[in-house]
Amino acid sequence: MTTAETPSQKTIGERLREGGRPLFSFEFFPPRDDAGAEQLWRAIKLLQPLSPDFVSVTYGANGSSRDRTVAVTRRLAAKTSLTTMGHLTCASQPVSEIEGVLEAYEDAGVRHILAVRGDMPGGPTAPWLPHPAGLPNATALVSLVKATGPFCVGVAAFPDIHPSRHDSDLDARILLDKQAAGAEFAITQLFFRPESYFSLIERIRAIGCTLPVIPGIMPITQIGQIERFADLSGAPIPDEVEKRLRAVADDPPGVREVGAEIATELSQALLDGGAPGLHFFTQNRSVATMAIWAGLRVRPVAH
């Protein structure tokens, strides 16, 4: 049965502006093979009963990965009751390709788009080179999405400062520009210190940016993620977090437990400080996300 959203339903942006309870959401990535697909849909099946307010699927750096993103997003929109947000980047692709993806999302009944610039193949610190027939940045992407269809648009925010800019004030001004282009909310890159998030909010509010900003949360489940964290976020993992994880480095279940504890503590501090929700980077798994969710004093409710 098709359960794609209808125009009468409130958008994520509208729900965030109304306030009330925090929103909770889950992010997945497109599987590379059949085994990955099985793991993805198993995680979705286990997490769906938690009644997330929306789910999303990351947009890859190459054509085949992007095709898988669109396919998974279509299936989520058509075969589940979950509000589905499509990811979209402007990295390494022409405007015509971006417009094609937007058309596919709209045909699938997807009304929400997370519009981000995206990274070059070399990662978040590699120099940005716009496609010759593409867009210069995420702000231009937001404008294109808003001009293309009736989409509610979210964007990225950076509590630990964008790795290629190293300028927190510029990050704030860019978020204000995205709001002016039509963005209605933001989701942060992963981070581990609550003060990083609240400092970001203070900076953007000081210049008139009123976007609701949902913190992005990713639990460390394997000790090897410590080294990969900088590649994912452009910032090193905080010393105090690494110390707690290194203390149980030889105990894989202990790493998962401590990683979940750290993420739960961060999540609760953010909610206590007024964050409008939490966006979990699930890594296509359910156990850690469910453990964090169970440890929170405020949880999703059926809607």
Catalytic residue set: 27
Strand 152-157 and strand 277-281: the pairing is unpaired
Gap between the Cα atoms of 120 and 256, Å rounded: 31
Q: Position of tokens 């942060």? A: 188
Residue 222's CB: how many other CB atoms inside 10 A? Answer: 13
Contact between 101 and 57 under an 8 Å Cβ cutoff? The reply is no
Residue 20's nearest CA partner among 293, 205, 276 is 276
- Specify burial of residue 122 (Cβ count, 10 A radius: 0-12, 13-18, 19+): exposed
DSSP 206-242: HTT----EEEEE----STTHHHHHHHHHSSPPPHHHH
Contact between 81 and 6 under an 8 Å Cβ cutoff? The reply is no
Strand 185-190 and strand 277-281: the pairing is unpaired
Q: How many helices (H) and strands (E) does the chain have?
A: 11, 8
Gap between the Cα atoms of 234 and 160, Å rounded: 8
Tokens read off for 144 = 């294109």
